Amino acid sequence: MKEPFGTLPSGETATLYTLSVGRIRAAVTDYGATLVRLFVPDSEGNLADVVLGYDDCNGYRTANGACLGATVGRNANRLQGASFLLNGATVSLQANDGPNNLHSGPDHYHLRLWKTISYSDTSVTFALSSPDGDQGFPGNARIQVTYKLDPKGGLHIIYDAVSDQDTVFNLTNHSYFNLAGHNQTDKAMDQILTIPGRFFCPDDAQNIPTGELRNVAGTPMDFRSPKPISKDIDADYEPLHLQGGYDHNWEVFCIPCAYLQDPVSGREMAVYTDCPGIQLYTGNFLDEHGKNGIYYGKRSGVALETQFYPDALHHADWPQPVTKAGEHYHSETIYSFPDLSI
């Protein structure tokens, strides 16, 4: 099913596409290639929308500083000094987070109307042409994002891109999950999280990784055994003090690279990816009025963003998000609800 999702100042109409397989249903829009709704049953079959969002495209256009449901690119996360070296030349982006760049803004991909190139009951593919110099990046780029539901209860987000010059591709989805339901804002931090990663990236006061890969053992960053997110989020530990909670990258050590459980509803979600890192962000600065007028305040949801390590372009020993001219960038992340096989 597809339906209008609001009118943009240009007069163009955004469209909302609903995908369904068995008991899972996702709604995505061509405005920003954004995940808007994700309905998942609980252990008794009751459906709830488990992602934060807005009622129409104008919410995403005017109020979405938190990037709810957003496709982020060309480079997700932070870049120190809003610049980097590529083939010996300095590439400069706009500083939009103090002296640094965040999510390649301010001209974000999630604030653009993408072209829909295919649609079925179970998948939709959006495309964006990003010209040479767009956001500061070199190369004329063609980018596609596909959302696809599978019969085993998985939501696949598939990224494909190519450029006519060497460039950066590091795309992610910035959905905030609350498996109790998006409107159960006081329950998000009670959910039980597992991250098998052995190492995380400590940040400085500007959320820029220091370059250290620190062992999680003996720290509040150790999620190798399941624990409520709330258990250690306010622990007396400098990385948590600096960011007001969790907002850090973990290595992807194995798959699934994260597992989230709601102890009341019984909903569970596993995260699979081919990316080297995953960012846990606990919505420490959320301050949004979202779907159905629900207020999303501090820690109302949890983002699990698959990615290259933040600021990897300044750390040559980390996996690099550079794609050569003419080469095909491909990445896939699956948010899987294991009990929903049909």
Q: Cα(288)–Cα(229) distance, rounded to whole angstroms? A: 21
To the query of whether residue 289 is one of the catalytic residues in this protein, the response is: no
**DSSP assignment, residue 291?**
G
CA distances from 23 to 37, 149, 291 (A): 14, 11, 21
Verify cis geometry, omega within 30 degrees of 0, for the bond prior to 256: yes
To the query of whether residue 305 is one of the catalytic residues in this protein, the response is: yes
Catalytic residue among 174, 182, 248, 268: 174
What is the CB neighbour count within 10 angstroms for residue 104? Answer: 27
Catalytic residue among 251, 268, 288, 305: 305
- The answer for residues whose C-beta is within 8 angstroms of residue 284's C-beta and 6 or more apart is 243, 244, 245, 246, 247, 298, 299
Buried b / exposed e over 293-324, threshold 16 CB at 10 Å, is ebebeebbbbbbbbbbbbbbbbbeebeebbbe
Q: Cα(88)–Cα(127) distance, rounded to whole angstroms? A: 30
> Contact, 145 vs 156, CB < 8 A?
no
Taking the CA atoms of 310, 336, 110 and 332 in sequence, report the sign of the dihedral they define: positive
Taking the alpha carbons at both ends of the chain, their separation in whole angstroms is 21
Q: Cα(292)–Cα(59) distance, rounded to whole angstroms? A: 11
Active site residues: 174, 305
